[in-house]
Chains A and B, each alone.
Chain A
Amino acid sequence: MTAVADAGASLGVSGEGAGATTVDVVIVGAGPAGIAAAVRAAESRRRVVVLDEAPNVGGQIWRHRSRDTLGAEARLWIDRLSRTNAEVRRGVAVVDVVVGGDDAPIVVVAERHRGGAEVIRASALVIATGARERFVPFPGWTLPGVMGIGGAQALLKQGATFRGKRVVIAGTGPLILPVAASLTDAGARVLLVAEQAPFQAVRDFAISLLTQPDTLLQAALYRLAFLRTPYAMGTWVTSASGTDRLAAVTVANARSTWSLPCDVLCTGYGLVPNIEMPRFLGCATADGAAVVDERQATTVPRVFAAGEVTGVGGVTLAIVEGEIAGAAAAGVARVDPSLVRRRHALRAVARRMDRTFAVRPEIRSLARGDTIICRCEDVRCAAIASLSGSRQAKLYTRAGMGACQGRVCGPALELLFGWQSGTVRSPLEPARLSTLSTAALAGAAASTDTLHSSGS
C-alpha cells in the first residue's frame, strides 16, 4: 500500500526509447508545500509522483535523518504522505519541463544524481521548489567555514557536528533564531548572533506578532535556547579572514567595529524564491515570486505553484498553499474556503516580514573591487561594476554562466546593482548530455511545435 518508492528503472545512457511514467499530477519539490499537495491530490484519488533532488523528503525546514527528530506537524504530514499511493522519487533533479498544447501531456525530465534520466508525463504540474538563501558578497565570503544560516542548519541536520566550534551568526530574518537555537543545542560555542535590521524595526515587528502569540512565544523560546550568547540588532559582519579557511570575522554596528576569531560564520540575507522553473515555463512572476490565483494556478494552464516559490511566507502558509494546489491540480472544483482564509492572513504577516528585514545600504557596499561576486567563475566585483546589466556581465565576464546557473550571484547582482536575471534555459540544472538528449526527445514528442520538417 505504501508507495514511497525509490527511482529504480534505468533508462539507458542513449536516452532513446526511454520508458516514461504517466500520472495525473507531478509535483516538483518534497518540502511542506509539495508534501501537502501530494497528500491532497493522492487523497483525491489521483496518481501522483513527487520529485526531489534531496535524499529524503522534507525540503529545508523539515529536513531530517530520522523521523524522531521531526516536530509533530512534520511527522503528521510525512506519515500521511506515506499512507497515500503517491510515489516519491528522491535524488532526482528536474532538467527540463515541456508544457505543450491542451491535449499534450506535461513532460518532466529529471536526472538521477548517479546517472540516468526519468521521464514523467502528467496532466498537471505543481511547482513547490521553495526558496534559497540570498548571499551578499563581502571580503572573505568565499572562505571555507563561511556558510549560509540555512546552510549551517542544513549541514547540521545532514549529520555534521558543530560541537565545540566557535560560531558567529550574522545576517537577517527569522531564520536566525531557530538556527542559533539549534546550533547551541548541538554544542556549538555561538559567540554572537547579529541581526542587521535596526532594533526598532525588529521590535515593531515583534509587537505586530502580538496577534499571533504562538509565533511570539516560539521566538522567545528560541532566544532562551541561546540566552548566554549576545544577540545584537543593527549589527553585521563586514569581512571574513583566514588563510585556507575561516579564522576570524570583523563585526560592525553604527558605532564601532571589532574582530572576532571563529571557526564558522553563518550568514545570509533573507530568502529568494526558486522561480527558475515558473520563469522557464513562461509563468508570470512579480516581486521575484510566482504569481498564482486563489487556486494556486499560475498563468500557464495546468501549472500550479505552492509554498515559498509564490512568495516567502513560512511553513504554515506553505502547507495551506500546498493543500489548495494539490486539490486544484487533482481537479477538485471548489477550493476549501477555510484554507483560503488562512492563506490570506498568513500572507499579511509575510509582507510585514519583508519590510522589517530589508538589507541596509552598508551591507550592499561591503564588496570591494577584488571581492568575488560570481563564485562559479571567480569573477570579481571590479570586472562587473562598470557594466550595465546581467546579460552583459555574463557575456563579458562569464558571471552567471557557471554550474549554479546564477542562483548565487543573481540575487547578489540584483541587490548590488539592481540587475534582473536573464532568460532561463534548459537544462534547469546541469545534467549529463545523455539526459539532455532524453529530455530533448521526450519534450519534442510532447510538444505541439509545428515547425518540424519531415526529415528528422
Chain B
Amino acid sequence: MNDRRPDAIVVGAGVVGAACAVALARDGLRVLVLDADAAALGTTAAGMGHLVVMDDSPEQLALTRYSTSLWRAQSDAVRAASELDWCGTVWVAEDETQLDAVRAKQRLYSEHGVDAELLDQTSLIEAEPQLRPGLAGGLLVPSDGVIYQPSATVALLALARELGAEVLERMPVEEIIPCGVRCGVDTLRADIIVNAAGASAASLTPALPVVPRKGHLVITERHPGFCRHQVVELGYLTSAHVMTSESVAFNVQPRSTGQVLIGSSRELVGWDASVNRRVLSRMIARACSFMPGLAALTAVRTWTGFRPATPDKLPLIGRWPEVPGLWIAAGHEGLGITTSLGTAAILADLVAGREPAIDAAPYAPDRGVPAGVH
C-alpha cells in the first residue's frame, strides 16, 4: 500500500461508497476505499437496482430527481456496464381514491420537472397488458430506469481508480476514530472519513439512527416481454413509509436479461436473513393479485436483503460533528442505488465547502432524529 496518507477514506465499497469515491477523487482528493469483503457484496448486492423518482416527501423527491438526472449524465461506459435501461415506471391505482392520489402525484412531479403521464383504465392495460382488469388507472414515469447494480458499482470503482483512488477489499474496518479507522492492528489516518457502510453503518457509528429493514425478492427465468416497465402499486409508498413490523407491496421489474424481479416486503427483524415463508407467500400473493400471469412464471431464486432504514425515511449525508473528520453517507432505505450519485455529489460539495445543487439540510446527519426510535 502506498505510504502517502490519503485525503479521504471511504468505508464501504458498495454503490454509495463507490459513488462517493468517484466524486471525491474528481475534486482531486486522494481517496482510499475499504471494504470488509469484495465490492458490492453487502447491502448493495441484494437490491432491486431501480432508478426511481419517489415522493414520500418533498425532500425525497428532490434527492431522487437530482440523482436520476446524474445517472442520465453518466458516461456511456458506466451506463453500459450498469446495463442501464430507461424502461420507466408505471404506478398503479387500484381505485378512485388512489387515482386521486395519482393525479396529485402527477402534478407534483410536473412541478419538479419530472415527466409523468396519467393513465386511465384502458391505457394502463395497454402499457402493461399483464395487469388484471378492473384497476382504476395509473401514472407512467418514462424517465425512471433499472440497472444491474453490482456491475454498476464495479464500474464506478474502476472510474474512481482511474481518478487516482485506491480500493482495498477484504480490509474490514473495526472502528472509526477521530480522523482515522482501525483495521485489525493497523490504524489508517485521513482528514476525511466517510461512513458508507450501508445497513451496517450503525455498527461503526453507534448513534446513527440506521436499522436493517429486511426485504424479500424473487427472480424468474427469462420471460422477455412479460412486463415492459417497472410496475409498482401506489401502496408501495405506504409500505415504505409506515414503519410497522411487516408489510408487503406489489413491485415487479423487467431485468435486462428478460427475467422478472418481484418484490417487495419490509420487516424489522434484526439481522435474520432467512427467507420467511409467510412473508414470501404474502408478497407473492400480492404480486399475483395485480398480475395474475405471474403465477405461471418459473422462479429460479429467492433471497433477502437489508435496507438501511432511518426514522424519517431520509438518508444521512454530511458531517458527523461528534467525531472529528467523520462524514456520513448512509441510511438510504430502498433508494440507495437511485440516490448514490446524488448523495456523492452532495457529500463532495459539502466537503469542498461548495453549495450543493439541492438543499442538503434535510439530510444532515445531526438533524436530531433519535436513534432507536422507529
Contacts and interface: CB of A to CB of B under 8 A. Distances in A.
Contacts, number: 105
Given A392-B38, A395-B40, A433-B288, A440 B295 contact: no
Contacts of A347: none
Interface in A432-456: 432-434, 436-437, 439-441, 443-444, 447, 449, 451-453, 455-456
B246 interface: yes
B299 A432 contact: yes
Interface in B149-184: 150-151, 154
Contacts of B298: 430-433
B42 to A, nearest CB: 11
B301 interface: yes
Instruction: Tell me if B's interface is mostly helix, strand, loop or mixed.
Output: mixed
A388 interface: yes
A395 B276 contact: no
A25 B257 CA distance: 41
Given A396-B150, A437-B284, A430 B299 contact: yes
B301 A425 contact: yes
Contacts of B296: 13, 115, 432-434
Contacts of B278: 440-441, 444, 449, 452, 456
B269 A451 contact: yes
B38 A389 contact: yes
A288 interface: no
Interface residues of B, number: 38
A427 B4 CA distance: 50
A96 B275 CA distance: 12
Contacts of B151: 396
Contact of B245 (A432, A440, A453): A453
A426 B299 CA distance: 10
A389 to B, nearest CB: 7
B276 A451 contact: yes
A104 B165 CA distance: 55
A403 B259 CA distance: 11
B302 A433 contact: no
Contact of A447 (B41, B277, B282): B277
Interface of A: 13-14, 96, 98, 115, 387-389, 391-392, 395-396, 398, 401-403, 405, 425-427, 430-434, 436-437, 439-441, 443-444, 447, 449, 451-453, 455-456
22 contacts: A14-B288, A115-B296, A389-B38, A395-B41, A395-B45, A396-B151, A405-B300, A425-B303, A426-B302, A430-B300, A431-B298, A431-B299, A434-B296, A436-B218, A437-B281, A437-B284, A440-B284, A441-B281, A444-B276, A451-B272, A453-B245, A455-B245
